[in-house]
Structure 1
Amino acid sequence: MDWLQVIVLAIVQGVTEFLPVSSSAHLILVPVLTDWPDQGLAFDVALHLGSLSAVLIYFRRDIFGMTVSWGRSLKTRELDADAKLAWAVILGTIPVGLAGLLLKDTVETVLRSPIYLAIGLIAFGLLLSWADWRHRGERSEYQMNWKDVLLIGCAQALALFPGTSRSGITMTAALMLGLSREASARFSFLLSIPVIVLACGLETIELIKAQVPIDVAAMVGGVVLSGISAYLCIHYFLAFIKRIGMQPFVIYRLVLGIALLWIFL
């Protein structure tokens, strides 16, 4: 890859990973809509590591508190607010982990068509719009019960369908269950941590087995640029989400989905 491709893909991944617009769709579309070759699995791993570093740094205090409380809960079996949230992240990750293991090959081959991307962008965009208008509440992520967590976790498994958006579908489910926009976004971002770790782990194992040659400079550049853009995206999204709502992202999804249908049908 040349450096223009590295820079564009890293920024695209960083910006779209935590917005409800589907980062996987954009990473698939960039080589489709340009003359660039597919960036390959190794670079995708690097980009996701950048996004992971961003969310870990941004929520470092929350994660530290959750980790300490979670460890204490294993000994005392008593759950404070941070321990409950930590267990919620673990429970909410199980459905997508199981679905990923069962459907991985299908997702990576059959469903990588621009038509499927367009369908996912439009359908789940409309669902997000409806949830934001009709079902948004004021509950925080600390006020969820185990049923809420399980439903959001099951919704996250739908993100395996291209164009859905992992952050988008988890925010949609959280909004439908009465969480506020900020709480929906924060829990979605926390849920991304184990998902990205698991995905990167599986992809790294595949890379080791395949003995794929790696461009170290491009990988490092991708991690750094993806991490910076993802951090800024998280910061400004959480700062403005109460004011701007989800509708601008819904409009973007609809326009992009319709454009893809027009181009590829």
Structure 2
Amino acid sequence: MTDGGQRQYGPLGTTLVIIPTYNEAENIKPIVSRVRSAVPEAHVLVADDNSPDGTGKLADELAAGDERVHVLHRKGKEGLGAAYLAGFQWGMDNGYGVLVEMDADGSHRPEELPRLLTALKGADLVLGSRWVPGGRVVNWPKRREFLSRGASAYSRVLLDVPIRDVTGGFRAFRVETLNGLGLAEVASAGYCFQVDLARRAVRAGFHVVEVPITFVDREHGDSKMSRDIMVEALWRITAWGFDTRVRKIRGR
């Protein structure tokens, strides 16, 4: 948790839950339904990367029956970071006050979103964290848990960020926070996108709070994690770490 000092926070405004999708036909209807039940006042934006399995069409059907569900059709698969950046821009253009990142596969439980939004009343950014007391993962093999914990620890130490779950992707941002992160400079496409935004928030002096969550492994569909994504994350985080050390030396 970063120090928020004595700052006074204004009202949150309307929440937009951004759900990037690529081949999530089995998951999209259940996850949208759960979000709408958990936070009825929130809107949902499905950012679909032209899924060949028809996810975009299913999302359109949901939007046709619910004025609080929207769909952003993208030309193709360009990575998680690009999908979120497009969703952020859509949300800012349409006047939302809170933008939420959430996976489509059910690993981020919508029922926990109200706790993130409550915490955001006194923060700039709230992270749903697997690695703080009270957080946990369900149905993950030990190898995957080890890799995830290791990636967060590596990022935390190298980038000097006081966040336990640096790589997690269940997050709630105030729109003012996103405006202060320099999103136009973000180039990371894969899962290191989450690390990039976290380090930018800390470096900009924003108050970041971690809320414990239960992360549940997907039951349907395939994970989008790949060797290329892991390699990108490793070299980008290492490069950012070198930049962090240089900045510290120059600041002495």
TM-score, length basis structure 1: 0.28
Ranked by relative contact order (alpha carbons within 8 Å, sequence separation 6 or more), the top structure is 1
Structure in which a larger fraction of residues adopt strand = 2
Query: Which structure's residues are more often helix, by fraction?
Result: 1
The normalised TM-score by structure 2 is: 0.29
